[in-house]
Amino acid sequence: MVAEPERNGPADRLERLEQRVNEMAQRQEQLMQRLGTQREGQAPMAGPGREDFRPPRALPDRTGMGQPMPPAGAPALADFPAPAGPAAAVPEQLVRLGRDITNARVLAVMSRVPRHEFVPERLRAEAYTDHPLPIGHGQTISQPYIVAFMTEQLEPKPTDRVLEIGTGSGYQAAVLAGLVAQVYTIEIIEELAERAAADLKRLGYTNAHVRAGDGCQGWAEAAPFDAIIITCAPERVPQPLIG
């Protein structure tokens, strides 16, 4: 029996990565279905947040190109709040057996980003549990492990410019903003784009730029990018992103 040659070219690695992303998306959808079944008939949970979750509907410059570019390089970790409260415990979920997130910078940022600020107020009591939560329009905020795993796969560098397809709540963009120089993120659902842009601005993530539109078309004005992360679940990688 002749052994098949190892498939390790760029196209093969991309295919394997697509398969892993699709598998994670399927698992996340299954978790959401189970979560919805458990909640059926329950009253909304009270959360610990003090502010109204819904921010003003004003959307900052949609292209993200109207403001002067900040200096190159990711913000220093010292620019973010020190680990405190439930967020500080997130890395413990990420390093346990079977998870094995090892990138120290990723773990540090995951402990600082306030996930409860990106979920509806009635669900804030669940913000730091390791499962997805609904954010409206049939969409979810991914569980912390998925965000950390995909971020680690990018091997983010402080000087990188990253394009994200599928802003959702803005949580992934906030994590990336603490690791790279610039984040450009596109969300097809306008209301989610508006909400994420307002939350990112309110929380001080000035190097995260939000656009409402079809992410499959990319963001030509800001290209090229050092990395692209697709947080939605297309059947295949859109050609404009790699062309």
Other C-beta atoms closer than 10 Å to the C-beta of 159 total: 12
Q: Among residues 46, 29, 192, which one has the least CA distance to residue 116?
A: 46
* Residue carrying structure tokens 């995951």: 110
Q: Average the pLDDT over each of 27-31, 44-48, 222-226, 231-235 and give the range with the smallest value.
A: 44-48
- Band (pLDDT 50/70/90 cuts) for residue 169 is very high
pLDDT at residue number 8: 63
Domains delineated in the chain = 58-242 (3.40.50.150)
Query: Which residue in this structure is represented by tokens 């394997």?
Result: 16
142 is catalytic: yes
Give the C-alpha separation, 177 to 199, whole Å. 13
Tens-place pLDDT, residues 180-199: 999 999 999 999 999 999 99
Q: Please name the residue ranges forming H helices in the chain.
A: 10-39, 90-95, 104-110, 144-154, 171-177, 190-202, 239-242
- What does the pLDDT average to over 128-147? 94
Stated as kind and residue range, the H or E segment containing 227 is strand 227-230
pLDDT tens column, 48-105: 333 333 333 333 333 333 333 333 455 554 454 444 566 666 777 787 656 789 999 9
Instruction: Say how many CA atoms lie within 13 Å of 230 toward its Cβ.
Output: 25
DSSP conformation class of 87: G
| Catalytic residue, candidates 111, 140, 142, 143 | 142
Dist CA 191 CA 212 (whole Å): 9
Q: What is the DSSP letter of 133?
A: E
